[in-house]
Structure 1
Amino acid sequence: MDLFKIFSSKVSSKDIAADRLKLILVHDRATVSPDFLENIKMELLKTISNYAEIESEEEIEIRITTSDEYDGNSPALVASIPIKKVKRR
């Protein structure tokens, strides 16, 4: 038994290549342009700003990735939006 292999968290190049291929397939499957993502970002900002103050527009990140929830290759939209505080109604 090799103790170094048990405690190492090194990812194989095969796994990295498989992840990259999945991302390429997701982007191809979703066929979204940068303009599309920018439009989504602006719509999300408009909607969320009704409920919360947003830290900075420059820190907002919108991306397409994979979701393992259904079949492992489903496109998923991921948004990271830093919020300063929630507005009280």
Structure 2
Amino acid sequence: MDFFRFFSRSEKNSKNVAKERLKLVLIHDRANVSPRFLEMIKGDIIRVISDYMVIDEEGLDIKLTRTRKDSDSSPISALVANIPILKMKEDSIK
């Protein structure tokens, strides 16, 4: 489920749109975080990562998902970030 594409206008049938919205609501409800909170996290991640590398901010994908612990298989929330790196900054390599 792509959180940021959720709000974009694309050609999807209403069944799939409703299914994605329900998944989003359930995940956010279980993790007790709002879309605004995720946007704040995204901004913080961009600021920190940008100190060390040039990234494609448009390609940045952050989502909240549910997974299971390896130790006891209990469900936990996970923040997943896909950050396209364009290049390392020269002053951060030293």
TM-score interval, smaller chain? 0.5 to 0.7
**Residue 78 of structure 1 corresponds to which residue in structure 2?**
80
The runs of 5 or more residues in structure 1 that have no matched partner are 1-20
Cα contact 2:28–2:34 (8 A) shared by 1? no
1:43 Cα deviation from its structure 2 partner: 0.1
Letter of the aligned partner of 2:76 in structure 1? S
**Residue 48 of structure 2 corresponds to which residue in structure 1?**
47
Of residues 32-41 and 62-71 in structure 1, the stretch that sits farther from structure 2 once superposed is 62-71
CA-to-aligned-CA distance 1:27-86 (integer Å, 9 cap, x gap):
32212111100000000000001111102x221111100122253420000011100012
1:35 maps onto 2:36 in alignment: yes
Taking the aligned partners of 1:74 and 1:27, their CA distance within structure 2 comes to 12
Secondary structure of 1:63's match? strand
Change (3 A) 1:22 1:69: farther
**Residue 16 of structure 2 corresponds to which residue in structure 1?**
none
Letter of the aligned partner of 1:68 in structure 2? R
TM-score, normalization: structure 2?
A: 0.60
Percent of pairs identical after alignment? Answer: 49
Structure with larger Rg? 1
Cα contact 1:54–1:85 (8 A) shared by 2? yes
Secondary structure of 2:87's match? strand
